[in-house]
Amino acid sequence: MKALQMVDTKTQYLKIKEEVDAAIHEVLDSAAYIGGKAVQEFGNALNAYIGSKFTITCANGTDALQIAMMALDLQPGDEVITPSFTYIATTEVVALLRLKPVFVEVDKKTFCIDPEAIRKAITPKTKAIVPVHLYGHAAPMEEIMAIAKEYNLFVIEDNAQAIGCDYTFSDGTVKKTGSIGHIGCTSFYPSKNLGAYGDGGAIFTNDEALAEKIRMTANHGQKVRYLHDLVGCNSRLDAIQAAILNVKLKRLDSYNSARQSAAAYYTKAFEGIDWITTPYTAPYSTHVHHQYTLVLNGVNRDELSAYLTSKGIPNMIYYPVPGHKQKMFSNFGLNDVDLPITDWLTERVISLPIHTELEQEQLAFISSELLKFKQAK
Ligand SMILES: *Cc1c(COP(=O)(O)O)cnc(C)c1O
């Protein structure tokens, strides 16, 4: 059996090597290293895929979130409601822009932000909500958009883990996550569902004025070269990465299907096991399984993790410390933030290898060895 990895980007690359290498060489030959055809083509293809009116590519997913917040003209001290149970980038940019992160609770089953918790956290200073489609499952966008409308708030979707996920509204309309909020953000970090071979990111919006502001913000605040109308930053998708992503975007749906098949294998193997809760998929969402994350009931996670590692099975804790307990926010007056569900999940989640190249033999080994943990003790 091939050695196990959390993510196997190498095997995936080897299957598309010719096409990727040719695309890279085309960029090299064109000498268009910044911007150019590859970046244009990828931006257009991604825009069509997501079903957004405008797509602005940028250097990474963290920049995408930062640029989104800059473009909304949020002012220091404005409050931004976000889950605490997310990757740090979501909330770090809030603090970086001198906005106030307001951490709220997630749903125990979907791991995504709880609309009731959003409602309770709204104050006159609230300006935006940042739902995160964690692990590849959509946050409840229909309810979130209704709250945003009621209180006149902006919604920025953090879609870094869920590219390709479909959201079904109660009237039957289906949209891709990232195209629903006022702005959507995503990342092409190599391990993401649509991963580059380096960094990359993109920002989506259906609002033309906002699209222009985002484009300017990502490009030193300029629309006309050397005329800088606002304070921006420099955040570009690299042309070589765009060429690679062009090859991979065509395969994104089949990559997501492969993840779903692997997830289905695990879920079937763990059916009826009382110490394992397998990932839940709400009726409104598909699940693109950026992660396959279990919640453990009554077993020692450190022991399980060490046991899996001893069997050559990689495993990870996403994320061991929630945002509201990170030292970086110690000056943000979060002492009395109490998020029992977030804390509960943080102590119990464990993620197994999930990627497009998992073979039946590997899945069988991982699940059967995991199930032997209790006997092994
Ligand atoms: C990966 C990720 C980001 C940041 O993306 P980078 O490209 O690494 O900057 C933001 N939010 C979430 C939820 C992520 O998983």
Q: What pLDDT, on a 0 to 100 scale, did the predictor assign at position 375?
A: 79
**Cα 210 to Cα 27: distance, rounded to the nearest angstrom:** 30
> If you write DSSP's letter for every residue of 223-280 in order, what string do you get?
EETTEE-S---B---BHHHHHHHHHHHTTHHHHHHHHHHHHHHHHHHTTT-TTEEPPP
Ligand 1 neighbourhood includes 84 CB (under 6 angstroms): no
First to last CA, the chain: 25
Ligand 1 neighbourhood includes 346 CB (under 6 angstroms): no
**What is the 203 CA–ligand 1 centroid distance (Å)?**
12
Q: What pLDDT, on a 0 to 100 scale, did the predictor assign at position 63?
A: 98
Low-confidence ranges of the chain (pLDDT < 70): none
Q: What pLDDT, on a 0 to 100 scale, did the predictor assign at position 145?
A: 98
**Cα 377 to Cα 116: distance, rounded to the nearest angstrom:** 41
Question: Which among 158, 236, 354 is the best mutation to test ligand 1's pocket, defined by most ligand atoms within 8 Å of the CB?
Answer: 158
Q: Could you give the angle at which helices 37-50 and 239-249 cross, rounded to 10 degrees?
A: 40
Ligand 1 neighbourhood includes 193 CB (under 6 angstroms): no
**What is the 62 CA–ligand 1 centroid distance (Å)?**
6
Ligand 1 neighbourhood includes 285 CB (under 6 angstroms): no
Q: What pLDDT, on a 0 to 100 scale, did the predictor assign at position 349?
A: 98
Look at residues 148, 141, 197 and name the one whose alpha carbon lies nearest to residue 165: 141
Ligand 1 neighbourhood includes 161 CB (under 6 angstroms): yes
- Nearest atom in ligand 1 to 161's CA: 15
Could you read off the pLDDT of 184-204 as tens digits, one per residue?
999 999 999 999 999 999 999
CATH of 252-376, one of 3.90.550.10, 3.90.1150.10, 3.40.50.300, 1.10.390.10: 3.90.1150.10
Q: What pLDDT, on a 0 to 100 scale, did the predictor assign at position 336?
A: 84
Ligand 1 neighbourhood includes 66 CB (under 6 angstroms): no
CB 130 within 8 A of CB 81: yes
Alpha helices in the chain (DSSP H): 9-15, 17-30, 37-50, 61-71, 88-96, 115-121, 141-151, 208-217, 239-249, 252-269, 301-310, 340-348, 360-371, 373-376
**What is the 319 CA–ligand 1 centroid distance (Å)?**
13
The architecture in CATH of the region 9-105+112-249 reads 3-Layer(aba) Sandwich (3.40)
- Nearest atom in ligand 1 to 192's CA: 1
Percent of the chain with pLDDT over 70: 100
**Cα 339 to Cα 324: distance, rounded to the nearest angstrom:** 9
Q: What pLDDT, on a 0 to 100 scale, did the predictor assign at position 352?
A: 98
- Nearest atom in ligand 1 to 189's CA: 7
Q: Report CA 309 to chain centroid distance, whole Å.
A: 26
**Cα 354 to Cα 218: distance, rounded to the nearest angstrom:** 33
284: cis peptide before it, omega within 30°? no
For residue 10, the tally of other CB atoms under 10 A from its CB is 9
Annotated domain spans of the chain: 9-105+112-249, 252-376
